[in-house]
């Protein structure tokens, strides 16, 4: 949920809750006030009625100010002597509707006769007032909420502008590029936030650069000692007084050194790709490139009785990239298809519109499919390769924005590279 | 048969010198840019091996200077730098080959001989080994006057073995020589074996004795014995 939505929701919930209870209390208080006001008026009228009661009996007075109706009955036994207030419904002759009335009932003696007198007063005007006031209150609440809503939007559009700007820049941040430059907002917290972010990005960039330089230097510096070991073992092998056991030992050293140097040069290559040191861009005919490498691998393919099926007739597909990297990309994919193939298996090379597909027979992966392009992930049963070929392929694809995918269906491993238009 | 080696890493220099002297070359050693500069005209080298990263200078400048002097020597750059641009730069300055460290000594010898062949001025060269005669330029091979039909890789393999006669040659070095850096992988050792088997069969069918000694688990030796 967005920050704006969430804040608005919180404010709306709280204000609705508050306004609801405040409204109920306010309504009650108002109601009580209007009732007690009616009671007071009725009591006052009662004084008058008691004073002028004889005239009533004489029938001289038809109405009294301040009340709407009066009823006089003989008091009944057991009637309360004190004043009684209450509400009742009565038919209003004018509108022919039942309306609420407030009444006071009291006992009055005249001559030796006790009367029960009831004075009525309509509550309608008071109710109207309460209604009006409540309506006004509700209007105010709505206006207030609308106000809050727009204020919130305004705050977000203005106050938080710098925050969202920084967020946008942060999203585009890449350790390969420059460290973040976030500018100076006029809110102190945001200035602090920006400073912290800038410091962090600076740190990230420099760490990344140092790591790259470190790998770069290490891989480079390793080559010379490796060359020394390699040449010394080779020299030692030429000694005539070595037994076969010693030769085997030397060969082990030699094999491991070769392994190490291959590993090292591949890592150096990956580092150079990560360092974006390949800037050359050439238009390469994919079909020619494939033909060249298939020709070079021809003997290796035959050795394992593998059938290569080409499906690129008549299609001209060009890719734009460094030609050295193009060679590496294709040889690694083809090598992979040969090495992980079965005796007498098949390789299908297909150049389709904007895509290159290379598929080969072979047993299913012995590891998780998601790890296929990771470094040093390989089939543990096989030795001699170190699981860098495909991660190199992935690096090259990422570098040029090619999309590479892998599927395994019907005994066929399929690598598909989709080139951007 | 002089070779100039410009290399600042002494143990590596020693290895190269020992191996090359076994092959009958005479080595002029230079451990810095300036020493290399002084030695440029000392002999008529058949080949110069030049490292690019020197403590007091840039190997590429030596290549340039050597070519400006119109030397006819072959030049092989031996460097730990492996970028394509470096290769292109080195070759465009006049180097004949570019060998990336770490390398096999047997490969170094094969490359030196190949470069020496290319820079040789007088006529077609014929390489002989026992009853085998190879004309590298024409890519033809004879056993006792009988022509043997070899594939390109078999031909390269034969030249490689001949360049490193009487030496133990590892499978890896053959694979690297025939395949280059990114090719092969572990599958190529089978490939070396198959190629060698085919080559031996073709030579023996033509009447040549088996010159290839198998050194179990290590590699091979091409020898008359």
Q: What is the pLDDT of residues B128-149, one digit of tens each?
A: 888 999 988 888 999 988 899 9
Higher pLDDT, A336 or A55: A336
Domain limits for position B215:
127-222
Is the Cβ pair A339, B81 closer than 8 Å? no
Residues B65 and B136 in one domain: no
The answer, yes or no, to whether residue B27 has pLDDT greater than 90, is: yes
The pLDDT assigned to A315 comes to 67
Would you call B193 exposed, middle or buried from its count of C-beta atoms within 10 A (0-12, 13-18, 19+)? middle
The pLDDT assigned to B121 comes to 60
CB proximity list for B5: less than 8 A, separation 6 or greater: B13, B16, B17, B20, B27, B28, B29, B30, B48, B49
CA dist A77 and A290 (Å) reads: 120
Domain assignment present for residue A160? The answer is: no
Q: How close A229 gets to chain B, by Cα (Å)? A: 9
For residue A91, what are the β-bridge partners? A98
The answer, yes or no, to whether residue B14 has pLDDT greater than 90, is: yes
Which range of A166-175, B4-13, B179-188 scores highest in mean pLDDT? It is B4-13
CA dist A391 and A373 (Å) reads: 5
Residues B92 and B114 in one domain: yes
Q: How far is residue A131 CA from its own chain's centroid?
A: 46
* Number of domains forming the structure of chain B: 2
> What residues of chain B lie within 8 A of the CB of A257, using their CB?
102
The answer, yes or no, to whether residue A290 has pLDDT greater than 80, is: yes
Q: Which of B12, B78, B88, B101 to mutate to test the interface with A (most CBs of A within 10 A)?
A: B101
Give me the residues of A, 303-362, that contact B with CB < 8 A.
303-304, 322-324, 327-328, 331-332, 335, 338-339
Task: Label residue B48 by pLDDT band (50, 70, 90).
Answer: very high
User: Residue range A120-147: average pLDDT?
Assistant: 87
Q: How far is residue A267 CA from its own chain's centroid?
A: 36
Q: What is the pLDDT of residues A211-257, one digit of tens each?
A: 878 887 888 788 889 999 999 999 998 888 888 888 889 888 988 88
The pLDDT assigned to A67 comes to 78
User: Is the complex ipTM higher than 0.90?
Assistant: no
The answer, yes or no, to whether residue A262 has pLDDT greater than 70, is: yes
Give me the residues of A, 358-417, that contact B with CB < 8 A.
382-385, 389
CA dist A236 and B67 (Å) reads: 35
Q: Which of B119, B141, B160 is the last residue of a domain?
A: B119
Residues A414 and A296 in one domain: yes
The answer, yes or no, to whether residue A385 has pLDDT greater than 70, is: no
Residues A105 and A204 in one domain: no
CB proximity list for A179: less than 8 A, separation 6 or greater: A198, A201, A202, A204, A205, A206
Is the Cβ pair A327, B103 closer than 8 Å? no
Residues B114 and B141 in one domain: no
Percent of chain A exceeding pLDDT 90 equals 11
The pLDDT assigned to B181 comes to 58
Q: What is the pLDDT of residues A317-358, one digit of tens each?
A: 888 898 888 988 998 898 888 888 888 899 999 988 888 999
Domain limits for position A111:
3-155
Residues A136 and A49 in one domain: yes
Q: How far is residue A156 CA from its own chain's centroid?
A: 18
Percent of chain B exceeding pLDDT 70 equals 94
Task: Label residue A60 by pLDDT band (50, 70, 90).
Answer: low
Q: Which of A254, A277, A300 is the last residue of a domain?
A: A277
The pLDDT assigned to A381 comes to 62
Q: Which of B119, B151, B182 is the last residue of a domain?
A: B119
Residues B23 and B82 in one domain: yes
Is the Cβ pair A224, B194 closer than 8 Å? no
The pLDDT assigned to A123 comes to 86
Residues A9 and A83 in one domain: yes
Q: What is the pLDDT of residues B206-215, one digit of tens each?
A: 988 999 988 8
The pLDDT assigned to B183 comes to 53
- Exposed e or buried b per residue across A96-116, where buried means at least 16 C-beta atoms within 10 angstroms of its C-beta: eeebebbbbbbbbeeeeeebb
Q: What is the pLDDT of residues B83-123, one digit of tens each?
A: 777 888 899 998 999 998 888 999 999 999 888 887 776 65
Residues A89 and A138 in one domain: yes
Phi, psi (rounded to 5 degrees) for B30 = -135, 125
Higher pLDDT, A389 or B134: B134
Out of A52-61, B83-92, B128-137, B161-170, which region has the weakest mean confidence (pLDDT)? Answer: A52-61
The pLDDT assigned to A384 comes to 55
Q: Which of A261, A277, A293 is the last residue of a domain?
A: A277
Mean pLDDT across chain A: 85
The pLDDT assigned to B212 comes to 92
What CATH number should be reported for the domain holding residue B151? Answer: 1.10.10.10
Give me the residues of A, 263-282, that contact B with CB < 8 A.
265, 268-269, 272, 277, 280
Q: Which of B102, B104, B156, B186 to mutate to test the interface with A (most CBs of A within 10 A)?
A: B102
DSSP A153-204: HHHHHHTTHHHHHHHHHHHT--TTSPPP-----SSHHHHHHHHHHHHHHHHH
Q: Which of B64, B90, B119 is the last residue of a domain?
A: B119
Chain A / chain B CB contacts < 8 angstroms: 128
Give me the residues of A, 216-255, that contact B with CB < 8 A.
220, 223-224, 226-232, 234-235, 237-238, 244, 247-248, 250-251, 254-255
Domain assignment present for residue A352? The answer is: yes
Is the Cβ pair B12, A227 closer than 8 Å? yes
Q: Which residue of chain A is at minimal alpha-carbon distance from B167?
A: A238
The answer, yes or no, to whether residue B199 has pLDDT greater than 60, is: yes
Q: What is the pLDDT of residues A82-98, one digit of tens each?
A: 888 888 888 877 788 88
Q: Which residue of chain B is at minimal alpha-carbon distance from A261?
A: B102
* Number of domains forming the structure of chain A: 3
Residues A143 and A9 in one domain: yes
Residues A240 and A110 in one domain: no
Residues B61 and B133 in one domain: no
Task: Label residue B75 by pLDDT band (50, 70, 90).
Answer: very high
């Amino acid at each position: 949920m967005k920050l704006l939505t969430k804040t608005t929701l919180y404010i709306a919930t709280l204000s609705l809750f508050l306004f609801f209870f405040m409204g109920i209390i306010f309504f009650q208080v108002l109601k009580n006030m209007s009732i007690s006001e009616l009671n007071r008026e009725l009591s006052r009228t009662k004084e008058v009625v008691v004073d002028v009661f004889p005239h009533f009996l004489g029938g001289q007075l038809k109405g009294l100010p301040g009340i709407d109706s009066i009823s006089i009955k003989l008091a009944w036994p057991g009637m309360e002597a004190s004043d009684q207030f209450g509400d009742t419904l009565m038919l209003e002759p004018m509108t022919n509707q039942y309306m609420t009335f407030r009444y006071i009932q009291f006992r009055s003696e005249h001559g030796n006769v006790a009367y029960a007198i009831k004075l009525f007063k309509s509550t309608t005007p008071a109710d109207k007032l309460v209604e009006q006031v409540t309506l006004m209150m509700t209007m105010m609440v709505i206006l207030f909420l609308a106000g809050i809503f727009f204020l919130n939007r305004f705050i977000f559009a203005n106050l938080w502008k710098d925050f969202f700007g920084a967020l946008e820049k942060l999203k585009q941040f890449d350790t390969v590029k420059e460290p973040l430059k976030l500018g100076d907002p006029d809110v102190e917290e945001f200035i602090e936030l920006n400073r912290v972010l800038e410091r962090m990005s600076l740190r990230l960039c420099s760490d990344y650069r140092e790591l790259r330089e470190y790998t770069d230097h290490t891989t480079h510096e390793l080559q010379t000692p490796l060359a020394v070991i390699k040449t010394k073992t080779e020299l030692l092998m030429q000694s005539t007084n070595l037994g076969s056991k010693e030769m085997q030992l030397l060969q082990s050293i030699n094999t491991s050194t070769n392994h190490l140097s291959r590993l090292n040069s591949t890592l150096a290559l990956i580092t150079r790709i990560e360092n974006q040191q390949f800037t050359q861009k050439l238009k390469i005919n994919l079909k020619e490139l494939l033909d060249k490498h298939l020709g070079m691998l021809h003997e290796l393919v035959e050795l394992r009785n593998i059938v290569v099926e080409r499906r690129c007739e008549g299609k001209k597909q060009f890719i734009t990239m460094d030609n050295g990297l193009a060679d590496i990309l294709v040889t690694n994919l083809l090598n992979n298809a040969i090495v992980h193939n079965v005796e007498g298996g098949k390789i299908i090379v297909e150049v389709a519109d904007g895509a290159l597909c290379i598929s080969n027979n072979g047993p299913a992966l012995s590891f998780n499919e998601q790890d296929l392009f990771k470094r040093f992930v390989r089939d543990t049963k096989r030795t001699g390769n170190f699981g860098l070929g495909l991660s190199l392929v992935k690096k090259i694809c990422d570098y040029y924005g090619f999309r590479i995918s892998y599927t395994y269906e019907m005994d066929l491993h399929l690598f598909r590279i989709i080139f951007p238009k | 048969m002089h070779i100039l080696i410009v290399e600042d890493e002494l143990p590596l220099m020693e290895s190269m010198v020992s191996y090359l002297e076994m092959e009958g070359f005479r080595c002029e050693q230079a451990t810095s840019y300036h020493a290399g500069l002084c030695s440029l005209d000392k002999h008529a080298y058949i080949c110069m091996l030049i490292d690019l990263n020197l403590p007091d200078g840039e190997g590429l400048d030596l290549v340039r200077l050597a070519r400006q002097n119109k030397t006819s020597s072959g030049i092989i750059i031996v460097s730990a730098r492996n970028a394509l641009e470096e290769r292109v730069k080195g070759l465009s300055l006049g180097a004949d080959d570019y060998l990336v460290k770490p390398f096999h000594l047997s490969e170094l010898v094969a490359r030196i001989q190949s470069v020496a062949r290319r820079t040789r001025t007088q006529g077609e060269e014929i390489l002989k080994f026992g009853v085998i005669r190879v004309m590298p330029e024409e890519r033809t091979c004879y056993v006792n006057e009988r022509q043997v039909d070899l594939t390109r890789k078999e031909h390269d393999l034969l030249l490689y073995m001949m360049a490193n006669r009487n030496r133990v040659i590892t499978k890896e070095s053959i694979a690297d020589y025939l395949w280059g850096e990114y090719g092969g992988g572990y599958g190529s050792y089978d490939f070396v074996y198959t190629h060698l088997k085919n080559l031996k069969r073709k030579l023996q069918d033509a009447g040549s004795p088996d010159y290839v000694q198998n050194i179990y688990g290590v590699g091979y030796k091409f020898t008359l014995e």
